[in-house]
Amino acid sequence: VPQLQADVLVIGGGATGAGVAWDAALRGFDVTLVERHDLSQGTSGRFHGLLHSGARYVVKDHDAAVECVEENPIVRRIAADCIEDTGGLFVTTPDDEEAYSERFVEGCRTTGLPVEEIPVAEARRREPRLNPGISRAFAVADASVDVWKTVWALARGVQAHGGRVLPYHAVIDLHRDGDAVTGARVRNELTGEELDIEAGFTLSAVGAWAAQIARMAGVEGVDVVPGKGIMIAMNHRLVNTVINRCTMPADGDILVPIRTVSVIGTTDIHTANPDDLPVTQNEVEQMLDDGERLVPGFRQARALRVWAGVRPLFQDQKAGAVGATRDVTRSHALLDHRERDGIGRFLTITGGKMTTYRLMAEHTVDAMCRQLGVDRPCRTRDERLPDSEGGKHYHLGSRLRARDSELQTEQVICECELISRRRLEETMHRRGTTNLDDLRRSLRLGMGPCQGGFCIYRATGILHGIGRLDGAEASRSLNDFLQERWKGSWPILYGDQLRQARLDDWIFQGLLDVEHLPEAAAA
């Protein structure tokens, strides 16, 4: 088995893991990050895209709110290019108790959260589709954040500092030397090859999967309560400001405008297996009803896609029985396994949220430095991520403006998301991937209204044409993508999106007959 050496092995390629790797790399450690799937394919890639102001937590979870208040401006600065400064509104709808708004105002005061009550008429001027029955409106500093861009920027930063980022590398065992973890054996999920990574320190940042990794080090009792939440992306910007219901955190109370869509979330259901997250019809109905409360007519709007994510809510065994997952703290948990379990050079970071990924990373690497007895201060507060050096936020027209000129002269492969052939080929080469779903995450390929109806055949042909795939592999990749699209599509197929799906059926089944490709028959 071939070997690699690293100062620090980071397990997990979500926002937390990438943030930890970036933090450690900036402090001069030689870092290797492994992720069993693609980067940000787990929880990070499956949330609504909200950069919290903290207002959501001011009544219920003071500590979480304070963390958000501190981190929000930092993330806005260091990851500017990944952020759209939408602002947020908390609105009291006719279904919400007026008394909560007073507690909300008080909570904002005690947590130091900047908030401004604005007249209802002003709120409705800003957001004309908002429920006309709202009685109060509060403006806060919510924003939307592109998590794929953020995680890839962190990964590129790590690489620029000499670190390695290895997607599709699953940890199959941790190495122990006496009372210390000394690295891991990983398996390349694409080739099946195994690799030993010898590491001076191992950091587990795998969210809801923390127990599985801890167990490989012989650590038991790391209880992460996976809380499943579904989100639905609507095909339009129904609102341009993040809209929250001014009420105790509950289901379906947030609508986030992000890029060309708006995302409603979410539910919260305790789930046993974080790898199995079915979307139920009840949940979909609930989200649509909740959407109606925020934006009347929501059910007539076009739903594009639904997905489920899993929150890693940590609850140590000693803290008692698990109740409703929403009551478990949203603050993160850092487990020093030397103190807790007598196993050195191994930490687990879990819980938390995208908004506080940087803080979590800082705490984690601080703890590692303490254990190693070195003093290297954190630099992530000030160091901007690649592509965010200019400090300018993304806005809705950024993508079109950046690409408008090339779209006049180049071949456009995905008309929905404005992806040219050159950009597609470059990304195929740079990422070295043959997986259409990886390209989707990197480029947004197939994420627009037609959900890959036109671009996926084209992308498959191009992947094949530049020699990345033979016919059988190309057919498999195409099939996998169609199945992956279907998974996020069928629970919300009605209205215009059903119409679109039927057109796609005509293309893939009627016209191309993908179902009867030789490989499809064998699979």
Partner 1 sequence: MRPDAIVVGAGLAGLSAAVRLAEGGARVLVLAKGVGATHLGAGTIDVLGYARGRVERPLDAMDSLPDEHPYGLVGADGVAAAVDWFKRCFAAGPLAPYSYTGWVDENLLLPTAVGAIRPSAVVPETMARGDLRGGARVCMVGFRALKDFHPALLADNLARAPEGVEARSAELDLKPEGREDANSQAFARAFDDPAFRAEFAAQVAGRLSAEERVGLPAVLGLASPHEVWSELEHRLGRPVFEVPTLPPSVPGMRVFATLRDALRRAGGQLILNAVVMGAERRGARVTALRTRVGLREVVHQAEWLVLATGGFPSGGLELDSRWRACEVALGLPVAGVPAPGAERFRPGYFEDHPLARAGVAVDGELRPVAEGGERLLENVLVAGATLAGAVPWKEKSGDGLSLATGFRAAELILAGGNFGRSEARAAAGA
Count of Cβ atoms closer than 10 Å to residue 58 Cβ: 28
Q: Which two tokens stand for residue 278?
A: 């079915």
409 contacts partner 1 (rule: CB under 8 A): yes
Distance in angstroms (rounded) separating the CA atoms of residues 403 and 418: 7
Nearer to partner 1, 33 or 463 (CB): 463
Strands (E), 279-420: 303-314, 332-336, 346-351, 412-414, 419-420
Residue 464: CB minimum distance to partner 1, A:
4
Strands (E), 178-302: 180-188, 194-204, 224-234, 242-245, 254-258, 261-265, 269-270
502 contacts partner 1 (rule: CB under 8 A): yes
425 contacts partner 1 (rule: CB under 8 A): no
| The residue type at 34 | V
Residue 472: CB minimum distance to partner 1, A:
6
Candidate segments 132-140, 201-209, 331-339, 411-419, binder of partner 1 by CB under 8 A: 411-419
Q: Is 161 helix (H, G, I), strand (E, B) or coil?
A: coil
Q: Is 452 helix (H, G, I), strand (E, B) or coil?
A: coil
Among 64, 413, 443, 445, binds partner 1 (CB under 8 A): 413
Among 178, 320, 373, 510, binds partner 1 (CB under 8 A): 510
3 contacts partner 1 (rule: CB under 8 A): no
Candidate segments 1-9, 207-215, 340-348, 497-505, binder of partner 1 by CB under 8 A: 497-505
SS3 assignment for 51-110: ECCCHHHCCCCHHHHHHHHHHHHHHHHHCHHHEECCCEEEEECCCCCHHHHHHHHHHHHH
Q: Is 381 helix (H, G, I), strand (E, B) or coil?
A: coil
Give the residue among 50, 42, 54, 49 at the shortest CA–CA distance from 13.
42
Per-residue mark of binding to partner 1, 236-275 (x: CB under 8 A): ----------------------------------------
Nearer to partner 1, 120 or 520 (CB): 520
Q: Rounded to 5 degrees, what angle do the CA atoms 380, 394, 404 make?
A: 135
Q: Is 453 helix (H, G, I), strand (E, B) or coil?
A: coil
195 contacts partner 1 (rule: CB under 8 A): no
Residue 279: CB minimum distance to partner 1, A:
10
Among 5, 135, 273, 509, binds partner 1 (CB under 8 A): 509
Residue 133: CB minimum distance to partner 1, A:
21
Residue 282: CB minimum distance to partner 1, A:
9
Among 62, 176, 237, 299, binds partner 1 (CB under 8 A): 299
Candidate segments 13-21, 38-46, 68-76, 463-471, binder of partner 1 by CB under 8 A: 463-471
322 contacts partner 1 (rule: CB under 8 A): no
Q: Which two tokens stand for residue 131?
A: 């429920």
472 contacts partner 1 (rule: CB under 8 A): yes
5 contacts partner 1 (rule: CB under 8 A): no
Candidate segments 52-60, 142-150, 426-434, 457-465, binder of partner 1 by CB under 8 A: 457-465
Distance in angstroms (rounded) separating the CA atoms of residues 336 and 349: 9
Among 410, 425, 434, 488, binds partner 1 (CB under 8 A): 410
Locus of tokens 């994510």: 309
Residue 308: CB minimum distance to partner 1, A:
13
277 contacts partner 1 (rule: CB under 8 A): no
Among 382, 454, 468, 488, binds partner 1 (CB under 8 A): 454
Residue 20: CB minimum distance to partner 1, A:
35
Nearer to partner 1, 323 or 494 (CB): 494
Tell how many helices (H) and how many strands (E) occur in the chain: 16, 22
Distance in angstroms (rounded) separating the CA atoms of residues 253 and 266: 7
Among 281, 351, 389, 401, binds partner 1 (CB under 8 A): 281
Q: Which two tokens stand for residue 69?
A: 């208040």
Helix-helix angle 357-372:15-26, to 10 degrees: 50
404 contacts partner 1 (rule: CB under 8 A): no
Nearer to partner 1, 129 or 169 (CB): 129
How many residues at the interface with partner 1, by CB under 8 A?
54
503 contacts partner 1 (rule: CB under 8 A): yes
Residue 298: CB minimum distance to partner 1, A:
9
Q: Are 91 and 134 contacting, i.e. CB atoms less than 8 angstroms apart?
A: yes
487 contacts partner 1 (rule: CB under 8 A): yes
Q: Rounded to 5 degrees, what angle do the CA atoms 515, 517, 518 make?
A: 130
Spell out the residues 6+ positions from residue 427 whose beta carbon is closer than 8 angstroms to its own. Answer: 439, 442, 443
517 contacts partner 1 (rule: CB under 8 A): yes
Q: How far is CA 287 from CA 9, 252, 338, 482, 500, in A?
A: 40, 5, 43, 25, 21
297 contacts partner 1 (rule: CB under 8 A): no
Q: Are 452 and 489 contacting, i.e. CB atoms less than 8 angstroms apart?
A: no
Nearer to partner 1, 135 or 483 (CB): 483
Among 70, 457, 468, 488, binds partner 1 (CB under 8 A): 457
Among 113, 214, 288, 385, binds partner 1 (CB under 8 A): 288
Locus of tokens 């996998």: 480
- Residues of this chain that interact with partner 1 (CB under 8 A) are 281, 288, 299-300, 303, 409-413, 421, 454, 457-458, 460-462, 464-465, 470-472, 474-475, 478, 482-483, 485-487, 490-491, 493-495, 498-499, 502-503, 505-507, 509-520
